[in-house]
Structure 1
Protein backbone atom coordinates (compact mmCIF):
# COMPACT_ATOMS: atom_id res chain seq x y z
CA UNK A 1 0.00 0.00 0.00
CA UNK A 2 1.13 3.53 -0.81
CA UNK A 3 -1.18 6.07 0.91
CA UNK A 4 -1.05 9.53 -0.66
CA UNK A 5 -2.36 13.03 -0.05
CA UNK A 6 -4.35 12.64 -3.27
CA UNK A 7 -7.37 10.78 -4.63
CA UNK A 8 -6.47 8.61 -7.63
CA UNK A 9 -8.79 7.10 -10.25
CA UNK A 10 -8.91 4.02 -12.50
CA UNK A 11 -7.55 4.58 -15.99
CA UNK A 12 -5.49 7.60 -14.94
CA UNK A 13 -1.66 7.65 -14.82
CA UNK A 14 0.17 9.22 -11.89
CA UNK A 15 3.89 10.06 -11.57
CA UNK A 16 5.43 9.57 -8.12
CA UNK A 17 8.83 10.34 -6.61
CA UNK A 18 9.66 7.57 -4.14
CA UNK A 19 12.21 8.49 -1.48
CA UNK A 20 11.03 7.05 1.86
CA UNK A 21 12.68 3.78 2.85
CA UNK A 22 9.41 1.88 3.21
CA UNK A 23 8.17 2.85 -0.25
CA UNK A 24 11.58 2.25 -1.80
CA UNK A 25 11.30 -1.26 -0.33
CA UNK A 26 7.87 -1.54 -1.95
CA UNK A 27 9.28 -0.62 -5.37
CA UNK A 28 12.12 -3.14 -4.96
CA UNK A 29 9.49 -5.80 -4.11
CA UNK A 30 7.44 -4.95 -7.21
CA UNK A 31 10.49 -5.06 -9.47
CA UNK A 32 11.23 -8.60 -8.28
CA UNK A 33 7.92 -9.63 -9.87
CA UNK A 34 8.80 -10.95 -13.35
CA UNK A 35 5.38 -10.37 -14.91
CA UNK A 36 4.88 -6.57 -15.34
CA UNK A 37 1.10 -7.00 -15.29
CA UNK A 38 1.37 -8.29 -11.71
CA UNK A 39 3.36 -5.34 -10.38
CA UNK A 40 0.35 -4.10 -8.47
CA UNK A 41 -0.03 -2.00 -5.35
CA UNK A 42 -2.84 -0.11 -3.69
CA UNK A 43 -3.33 3.51 -2.70
CA UNK A 44 -5.90 5.29 -0.58
CA UNK A 45 -6.11 8.99 0.17
CA UNK A 46 -4.97 10.28 3.54
CA UNK A 47 -7.85 11.89 5.41
CA UNK A 48 -5.60 13.24 8.19
CA UNK A 49 -1.84 13.28 8.48
CA UNK A 50 1.07 13.18 6.06
CA UNK A 51 2.65 10.91 3.48
CA UNK A 52 6.06 10.85 5.16
CA UNK A 53 7.50 10.60 8.66
CA UNK A 54 7.26 8.18 11.55
CA UNK A 55 3.83 9.43 12.59
CA UNK A 56 2.66 9.73 9.00
CA UNK A 57 -0.97 9.25 8.12
CA UNK A 58 -3.36 9.11 11.04
CA UNK A 59 -6.62 8.49 9.20
CA UNK A 60 -7.22 7.00 5.75
CA UNK A 61 -10.18 6.85 3.43
CA UNK A 62 -11.31 3.27 2.95
CA UNK A 63 -11.97 3.35 -0.80
CA UNK A 64 -8.95 3.70 -3.07
CA UNK A 65 -7.48 2.22 -6.22
CA UNK A 66 -5.25 -0.64 -7.25
CA UNK A 67 -2.44 0.56 -9.48
CA UNK A 68 -0.04 -1.09 -11.89
CA UNK A 69 3.58 0.01 -11.94
CA UNK A 70 4.36 0.88 -15.57
CA UNK A 71 7.62 2.86 -15.58
CA UNK A 72 10.54 3.05 -13.17
CA UNK A 73 13.64 5.23 -13.20
CA UNK A 74 16.18 4.50 -10.48
CA UNK A 75 18.15 7.51 -9.23
CA UNK A 76 21.81 7.40 -8.08
CA UNK A 77 20.73 8.34 -4.54
CA UNK A 78 18.53 5.24 -4.26
CA UNK A 79 15.23 7.01 -4.87
CA UNK A 80 12.86 6.22 -7.74
CA UNK A 81 10.73 8.16 -10.18
CA UNK A 82 7.83 5.92 -11.13
CA UNK A 83 4.63 6.04 -13.15
CA UNK A 84 1.60 3.96 -12.23
CA UNK A 85 -1.83 3.66 -13.80
CA UNK A 86 -5.07 3.05 -11.92
CA UNK A 87 -6.61 -0.35 -12.61
CA UNK A 88 -9.69 -0.70 -10.43
CA UNK A 89 -11.20 0.33 -7.11
CA UNK A 90 -10.45 -1.32 -3.79
CA UNK A 91 -11.80 -1.12 -0.26
CA UNK A 92 -9.12 -1.11 2.45
CA UNK A 93 -10.25 -3.43 5.23
CA UNK A 94 -7.05 -3.41 7.28
CA UNK A 95 -3.60 -1.81 7.06
CA UNK A 96 -0.55 -3.65 8.41
CA UNK A 97 2.52 -1.47 9.03
CA UNK A 98 4.88 -3.82 10.87
CA UNK A 99 6.82 -4.98 7.80
CA UNK A 100 9.27 -3.32 5.44
CA UNK A 101 6.38 -1.54 3.70
CA UNK A 102 2.66 -1.13 4.42
CA UNK A 103 0.46 -4.07 3.41
CA UNK A 104 -3.29 -3.81 3.03
CA UNK A 105 -6.02 -6.37 3.33
CA UNK A 106 -8.39 -5.21 0.60
CA UNK A 107 -11.59 -6.10 -1.19
CA UNK A 108 -11.87 -5.46 -4.93
CA UNK A 109 -14.92 -3.35 -5.71
CA UNK A 110 -16.70 -4.51 -8.87
CA UNK A 111 -17.25 -1.95 -11.61
CA UNK A 112 -20.86 -1.31 -12.52
CA UNK A 113 -21.40 -1.33 -16.29
CA UNK A 114 -25.00 -0.05 -16.38
CA UNK A 115 -25.97 1.98 -19.45
CA UNK A 116 -25.65 5.74 -18.95
CA UNK A 117 -28.47 7.90 -20.37
CA UNK A 118 -27.28 10.15 -23.19
CA UNK A 119 -28.62 13.32 -21.51
CA UNK A 120 -26.43 12.70 -18.42
CA UNK A 121 -23.36 12.36 -20.65
CA UNK A 122 -24.19 15.51 -22.61
CA UNK A 123 -24.86 17.58 -19.48
CA UNK A 124 -21.51 16.52 -18.02
CA UNK A 125 -19.64 17.28 -21.24
CA UNK A 126 -21.31 20.68 -21.66
CA UNK A 127 -20.72 21.69 -18.03
CA UNK A 128 -17.07 20.68 -18.17
CA UNK A 129 -16.62 22.57 -21.44
CA UNK A 130 -17.92 25.74 -19.78
CA UNK A 131 -15.75 25.14 -16.72
CA UNK A 132 -12.73 24.47 -18.93
CA UNK A 133 -13.26 27.77 -20.74
CA UNK A 134 -13.26 29.73 -17.45
CA UNK A 135 -10.35 27.76 -16.02
CA UNK A 136 -8.08 28.55 -18.97
CA UNK A 137 -8.01 32.20 -17.87
CA UNK A 138 -6.97 31.25 -14.30
CA UNK A 139 -4.66 28.26 -14.42
CA UNK A 140 -4.51 26.95 -17.97
CA UNK A 141 -6.31 24.07 -19.63
CA UNK A 142 -6.84 21.18 -17.17
CA UNK A 143 -7.07 18.62 -20.00
CA UNK A 144 -4.86 17.95 -22.99
CA UNK A 145 -6.87 16.77 -25.98
CA UNK A 146 -10.51 15.88 -26.41
CA UNK A 147 -12.90 14.33 -23.94
CA UNK A 148 -13.37 10.55 -24.26
CA UNK A 149 -16.62 9.25 -25.67
CA UNK A 150 -16.98 6.22 -23.39
CA UNK A 151 -19.16 7.25 -20.39
CA UNK A 152 -17.13 5.35 -17.80
CA UNK A 153 -13.79 6.70 -18.97
CA UNK A 154 -15.38 10.14 -19.33
CA UNK A 155 -16.50 10.03 -15.70
CA UNK A 156 -12.99 9.14 -14.51
CA UNK A 157 -11.39 11.77 -16.76
CA UNK A 158 -13.63 14.56 -15.48
CA UNK A 159 -13.05 13.46 -11.90
CA UNK A 160 -9.28 13.39 -12.37
CA UNK A 161 -8.74 16.72 -14.14
CA UNK A 162 -11.12 18.86 -12.09
CA UNK A 163 -9.37 20.63 -9.16
CA UNK A 164 -11.87 19.94 -6.39
CA UNK A 165 -11.39 19.61 -2.61
CA UNK A 166 -10.22 16.21 -1.34
CA UNK A 167 -13.59 15.21 0.12
CA UNK A 168 -15.42 15.87 -3.14
CA UNK A 169 -12.80 14.00 -5.14
CA UNK A 170 -13.28 11.07 -2.79
CA UNK A 171 -17.05 11.25 -3.34
CA UNK A 172 -16.45 10.85 -7.05
CA UNK A 173 -14.25 7.82 -6.47
CA UNK A 174 -16.85 6.20 -4.24
CA UNK A 175 -19.77 6.76 -6.66
CA UNK A 176 -21.25 3.37 -7.51
CA UNK A 177 -21.27 3.73 -11.31
CA UNK A 178 -20.51 6.08 -14.21
CA UNK A 179 -24.01 7.59 -14.28
CA UNK A 180 -23.90 8.53 -10.58
CA UNK A 181 -20.36 9.87 -11.00
CA UNK A 182 -21.28 12.02 -14.04
CA UNK A 183 -24.32 13.48 -12.25
CA UNK A 184 -22.20 14.26 -9.21
CA UNK A 185 -19.31 15.81 -11.15
CA UNK A 186 -21.81 17.94 -13.10
CA UNK A 187 -23.30 19.26 -9.84
CA UNK A 188 -19.82 19.94 -8.40
CA UNK A 189 -18.67 21.74 -11.55
CA UNK A 190 -21.79 23.91 -11.60
CA UNK A 191 -21.14 24.86 -7.97
CA UNK A 192 -17.53 25.70 -8.88
CA UNK A 193 -18.69 27.88 -11.78
CA UNK A 194 -21.10 29.78 -9.54
CA UNK A 195 -18.39 30.33 -6.92
CA UNK A 196 -15.79 31.35 -9.51
CA UNK A 197 -18.09 34.16 -10.65
CA UNK A 198 -17.48 35.65 -7.20
CA UNK A 199 -14.06 34.32 -6.15
CA UNK A 200 -11.39 33.62 -8.77
CA UNK A 201 -9.59 30.75 -7.10
CA UNK A 202 -9.14 27.00 -7.27
CA UNK A 203 -11.18 25.34 -5.95
CA UNK A 204 -13.50 28.30 -5.54
CA UNK A 205 -16.05 26.39 -3.49
CA UNK A 206 -13.44 25.54 -0.83
CA UNK A 207 -12.49 29.20 -0.45
CA UNK A 208 -16.15 30.20 -0.30
CA UNK A 209 -16.69 27.79 2.61
CA UNK A 210 -13.66 29.01 4.57
CA UNK A 211 -14.28 31.46 7.42
CA UNK A 212 -12.70 34.81 6.61
CA UNK A 213 -10.59 36.68 9.15
CA UNK A 214 -9.03 40.15 8.87
CA UNK A 215 -6.04 38.76 10.83
Structure 2
Protein backbone atom coordinates (compact mmCIF):
# COMPACT_ATOMS: atom_id res chain seq x y z
CA UNK A 1 0.00 0.00 0.00
CA UNK A 2 1.45 3.35 -1.04
CA UNK A 3 1.70 6.16 1.49
CA UNK A 4 0.91 9.76 0.69
CA UNK A 5 1.44 13.12 2.37
CA UNK A 6 -0.76 16.18 1.94
CA UNK A 7 0.86 19.62 2.16
CA UNK A 8 4.34 18.25 2.84
CA UNK A 9 6.76 21.19 3.20
CA UNK A 10 9.20 21.15 0.28
CA UNK A 11 12.71 22.61 0.22
CA UNK A 12 13.92 23.12 -3.39
CA UNK A 13 17.72 23.22 -3.59
CA UNK A 14 20.57 23.16 -6.08
CA UNK A 15 21.49 19.89 -4.39
CA UNK A 16 19.83 16.61 -3.54
CA UNK A 17 20.04 13.69 -1.16
CA UNK A 18 19.39 9.98 -1.51
CA UNK A 19 17.69 7.73 1.05
CA UNK A 20 20.18 6.96 3.80
CA UNK A 21 22.39 9.98 3.09
CA UNK A 22 23.22 12.99 5.25
CA UNK A 23 22.97 16.62 4.17
CA UNK A 24 23.95 19.67 6.27
CA UNK A 25 21.90 22.82 5.63
CA UNK A 26 22.32 26.48 6.59
CA UNK A 27 18.92 28.08 7.08
CA UNK A 28 18.52 31.84 6.87
CA UNK A 29 15.24 32.66 5.08
CA UNK A 30 12.45 33.31 7.61
CA UNK A 31 10.04 30.99 5.77
CA UNK A 32 12.48 28.10 6.14
CA UNK A 33 13.47 28.94 9.72
CA UNK A 34 9.78 28.73 10.63
CA UNK A 35 9.38 25.53 8.63
CA UNK A 36 12.36 23.83 10.29
CA UNK A 37 11.25 24.95 13.75
CA UNK A 38 7.81 23.49 13.14
CA UNK A 39 9.22 20.21 11.79
CA UNK A 40 11.51 19.86 14.83
CA UNK A 41 8.76 20.77 17.28
CA UNK A 42 6.27 18.32 15.76
CA UNK A 43 8.87 15.70 14.79
CA UNK A 44 7.69 15.86 11.18
CA UNK A 45 9.62 15.23 7.95
CA UNK A 46 9.92 17.52 4.95
CA UNK A 47 10.94 17.00 1.35
CA UNK A 48 14.13 18.00 -0.45
CA UNK A 49 13.90 18.39 -4.23
CA UNK A 50 16.43 19.53 -6.79
CA UNK A 51 15.44 22.76 -8.52
CA UNK A 52 14.22 22.34 -12.10
CA UNK A 53 13.79 26.09 -12.69
CA UNK A 54 14.24 29.23 -10.61
CA UNK A 55 16.35 30.14 -7.60
CA UNK A 56 16.59 28.93 -4.02
CA UNK A 57 15.74 32.41 -2.75
CA UNK A 58 12.42 34.04 -3.66
CA UNK A 59 13.11 36.77 -6.23
CA UNK A 60 11.71 40.31 -6.26
CA UNK A 61 8.62 39.16 -8.17
CA UNK A 62 7.86 36.57 -5.50
CA UNK A 63 8.61 33.70 -7.85
CA UNK A 64 9.19 30.39 -6.06
CA UNK A 65 11.51 27.76 -7.53
CA UNK A 66 10.00 24.89 -9.51
CA UNK A 67 11.17 21.51 -8.17
CA UNK A 68 11.79 18.28 -10.01
CA UNK A 69 8.92 15.83 -9.53
CA UNK A 70 10.98 13.24 -7.64
CA UNK A 71 12.68 14.14 -4.36
CA UNK A 72 13.55 12.62 -1.00
CA UNK A 73 11.70 12.68 2.30
CA UNK A 74 14.09 13.72 5.10
CA UNK A 75 14.13 13.93 8.88
CA UNK A 76 16.07 16.47 10.94
CA UNK A 77 18.54 14.53 13.09
CA UNK A 78 20.63 17.39 14.50
CA UNK A 79 20.56 21.18 14.71
CA UNK A 80 22.62 24.01 16.18
CA UNK A 81 23.21 27.75 16.00
CA UNK A 82 26.13 28.50 13.71
CA UNK A 83 28.84 31.11 14.49
CA UNK A 84 27.30 33.49 11.94
CA UNK A 85 23.95 33.28 13.73
CA UNK A 86 22.27 31.08 11.14
CA UNK A 87 20.42 27.87 11.94
CA UNK A 88 22.40 24.78 11.01
CA UNK A 89 20.58 21.49 10.61
CA UNK A 90 21.59 18.00 9.57
CA UNK A 91 19.02 15.88 7.75
CA UNK A 92 18.95 12.25 6.73
CA UNK A 93 17.21 10.95 3.62
CA UNK A 94 14.43 8.45 4.29
CA UNK A 95 12.51 7.55 1.12
CA UNK A 96 12.03 8.84 -2.41
CA UNK A 97 8.72 10.42 -3.37
CA UNK A 98 6.91 11.79 -6.40
CA UNK A 99 5.11 15.12 -6.34
CA UNK A 100 1.49 14.93 -7.49
CA UNK A 101 0.70 18.63 -7.05
CA UNK A 102 2.02 21.71 -5.29
CA UNK A 103 0.72 24.95 -3.86
CA UNK A 104 2.34 28.02 -2.32
CA UNK A 105 1.14 29.21 1.09
CA UNK A 106 1.00 32.75 2.43
CA UNK A 107 4.66 32.58 3.53
CA UNK A 108 5.83 31.63 0.02
CA UNK A 109 6.49 28.12 1.31
CA UNK A 110 6.11 25.37 -1.27
CA UNK A 111 3.81 22.56 -0.15
CA UNK A 112 3.32 19.31 -2.01
CA UNK A 113 0.90 16.44 -2.18
CA UNK A 114 3.29 13.53 -2.63
CA UNK A 115 3.34 9.76 -2.90
CA UNK A 116 6.21 7.74 -1.45
CA UNK A 117 8.01 5.49 -3.93
CA UNK A 118 8.95 1.88 -3.30
CA UNK A 119 12.18 1.21 -1.42
CA UNK A 120 14.90 -0.39 -3.53
CA UNK A 121 15.85 -3.96 -2.71
CA UNK A 122 19.50 -4.74 -1.94
CA UNK A 123 21.65 -5.90 -4.87
CA UNK A 124 25.16 -7.30 -4.91
CA UNK A 125 28.08 -5.43 -6.49
CA UNK A 126 29.05 -6.59 -9.98
CA UNK A 127 32.79 -7.32 -10.37
CA UNK A 128 33.20 -4.62 -13.04
CA UNK A 129 32.10 -2.00 -10.51
CA UNK A 130 34.39 -3.05 -7.67
CA UNK A 131 36.66 -0.05 -8.30
CA UNK A 132 33.74 2.23 -7.37
CA UNK A 133 33.42 0.43 -4.06
CA UNK A 134 37.14 0.94 -3.48
CA UNK A 135 36.74 4.67 -4.16
CA UNK A 136 34.02 4.93 -1.55
CA UNK A 137 36.02 2.91 0.95
CA UNK A 138 38.99 5.26 0.53
CA UNK A 139 36.75 8.30 1.02
CA UNK A 140 34.88 6.88 3.98
CA UNK A 141 37.37 7.86 6.73
CA UNK A 142 37.04 11.52 5.63
CA UNK A 143 33.27 11.25 5.94
CA UNK A 144 33.61 9.69 9.37
CA UNK A 145 35.92 12.48 10.50
CA UNK A 146 33.62 15.16 9.08
CA UNK A 147 30.48 13.91 10.86
CA UNK A 148 32.02 12.04 13.79
CA UNK A 149 29.66 10.37 16.22
CA UNK A 150 26.58 11.64 14.38
CA UNK A 151 27.53 9.74 11.25
CA UNK A 152 28.39 6.57 13.15
CA UNK A 153 25.01 6.71 14.86
CA UNK A 154 22.88 7.22 11.75
CA UNK A 155 24.80 5.61 8.88
CA UNK A 156 25.74 1.96 8.78
CA UNK A 157 28.01 1.40 5.76
CA UNK A 158 27.12 -1.49 3.46
CA UNK A 159 29.84 -1.81 0.85
CA UNK A 160 28.22 -5.02 -0.46
CA UNK A 161 24.97 -3.33 -1.54
CA UNK A 162 24.96 -1.67 -4.97
CA UNK A 163 22.08 0.57 -3.93
CA UNK A 164 23.85 1.94 -0.87
CA UNK A 165 27.21 2.36 -2.63
CA UNK A 166 25.71 4.04 -5.71
CA UNK A 167 23.65 6.44 -3.58
CA UNK A 168 26.65 7.58 -1.55
CA UNK A 169 28.78 8.01 -4.69
CA UNK A 170 26.04 9.97 -6.44
CA UNK A 171 25.92 12.33 -3.45
CA UNK A 172 29.66 12.89 -3.19
CA UNK A 173 30.95 12.97 -6.77
CA UNK A 174 31.22 16.38 -8.52
CA UNK A 175 28.49 15.64 -11.07
CA UNK A 176 26.05 18.10 -12.65
CA UNK A 177 22.76 18.40 -10.81
CA UNK A 178 20.78 17.06 -13.78
CA UNK A 179 22.96 13.94 -13.78
CA UNK A 180 22.42 13.47 -10.04
CA UNK A 181 18.68 13.90 -10.57
CA UNK A 182 18.70 11.23 -13.29
CA UNK A 183 20.51 8.92 -10.88
CA UNK A 184 17.87 9.61 -8.24
CA UNK A 185 15.10 8.80 -10.71
CA UNK A 186 16.31 5.29 -11.48
CA UNK A 187 15.15 2.50 -9.19
CA UNK A 188 17.77 0.08 -10.56
CA UNK A 189 20.97 0.29 -8.54
CA UNK A 190 22.94 -1.67 -11.16
CA UNK A 191 21.96 0.91 -13.77
CA UNK A 192 23.02 3.66 -11.36
CA UNK A 193 26.40 1.98 -10.88
CA UNK A 194 26.88 1.77 -14.65
CA UNK A 195 26.11 5.48 -15.07
CA UNK A 196 28.52 6.35 -12.26
CA UNK A 197 31.20 4.21 -13.87
CA UNK A 198 30.79 6.13 -17.13
CA UNK A 199 30.76 9.44 -15.25
CA UNK A 200 34.03 8.58 -13.52
CA UNK A 201 35.59 7.74 -16.87
CA UNK A 202 34.44 11.12 -18.24
CA UNK A 203 35.86 12.93 -15.21
CA UNK A 204 39.17 11.21 -15.85
CA UNK A 205 39.22 12.40 -19.47
CA UNK A 206 38.25 15.96 -18.54
CA UNK A 207 40.96 16.22 -15.90
CA UNK A 208 43.61 14.55 -18.04
CA UNK A 209 44.50 12.05 -15.31
CA UNK A 210 44.68 8.29 -15.10
CA UNK A 211 41.80 6.54 -13.40
CA UNK A 212 43.92 5.80 -10.34
CA UNK A 213 44.97 9.44 -9.97
CA UNK A 214 41.38 10.61 -10.42
CA UNK A 215 40.10 8.26 -7.74
CA UNK A 216 42.73 9.51 -5.31
CA UNK A 217 41.88 13.14 -6.08
CA UNK A 218 38.14 12.66 -5.59
CA UNK A 219 38.66 10.62 -2.43
CA UNK A 220 40.87 13.36 -0.99
CA UNK A 221 38.35 16.15 -1.51
CA UNK A 222 35.08 14.28 -1.01
CA UNK A 223 32.48 15.97 1.18
CA UNK A 224 28.73 15.58 1.37
CA UNK A 225 27.24 18.76 -0.10
Normalised by the size of structure 2, how large is the TM-score?
0.71
Q: Determine the structure 2 residue equivalent to 1:50.
A: 55
Using CA pairs under 8 Å that are at least 6 residues apart, name the structure with larger relative contact order, 1 or 2: 2
Contact kept? 2:133, 2:159, Cα under 8 Å: no
Q: 1:111 aligns with which of 110, 116, 119?
A: 119
Compute the displacement of 1:166 (Å): 1.0
Compute the displacement of 1:20 (Å): 0.9
Distance in 2 between residues matched to 1:21 and 1:124, nearest whole Å = 41
In the alignment, structure 1 segments of 5+ residues that lack a partner are 133-140, 199-215
Report SS of the residue matched to 2:97.
Answer: strand
Report SS of the residue matched to 1:157.
Answer: helix
Compute the displacement of 1:176 (Å): 1.4
Moved more, 93-102 or 159-168: 93-102
Distance in 2 between residues matched to 1:159 and 1:59, nearest whole Å = 22
Q: 1:167 aligns with which of 148, 173, 178?
A: 178
Post-superposition, which runs of at least 4 consecutive aligned residues in structure 1 deviate over 6 A?
75-78
Compute the displacement of 1:61 (Å): 1.1
Distance in 1 between residues matched to 2:100 and 2:47, nearest whole Å = 12
Q: Determine the structure 1 residue equivalent to 2:147.
A: none
Contact kept? 2:101, 2:113, Cα under 8 Å: yes
**1:59 corresponds to 2:66:** yes
Q: Determine the structure 2 residue equivalent to 1:25.
A: 34
Q: Determine the structure 2 residue equivalent to 1:202.
A: none
CA gap 1:191/1:31 in 2 versus in 1, 3 angstroms: same
CA gap 1:50/1:142 in 2 versus in 1, 3 angstroms: farther
Compute the displacement of 1:78 (Å): 7.8
Contact kept? 2:56, 2:65, Cα under 8 Å: no
Q: Report the RMSD for the aligned CA atoms in angstroms.
A: 2.9
Distance in 1 between residues matched to 2:110 and 2:36, nearest whole Å = 12
Q: Determine the structure 1 residue equivalent to 2:19.
A: 10
CA gap 1:163/1:142 in 2 versus in 1, 3 angstroms: farther
Distance in 1 between residues matched to 2:193 and 2:83, nearest whole Å = 44
Contact kept? 2:71, 2:97, Cα under 8 Å: yes
Moved more, 48-57 or 113-122: 113-122
Distance in 1 between residues matched to 2:92 and 2:184, nearest whole Å = 15
Q: Determine the structure 2 residue equivalent to 1:149.
A: 159
Normalised by the size of structure 1, how large is the TM-score?
0.74
Moved more, 82-91 or 68-77: 68-77
| Counterparts of residues 72-87 of structure 1 (less than 5 Å) | 72-74=79-81, 79-87=86-94
Compute the displacement of 1:93 (Å): 1.8
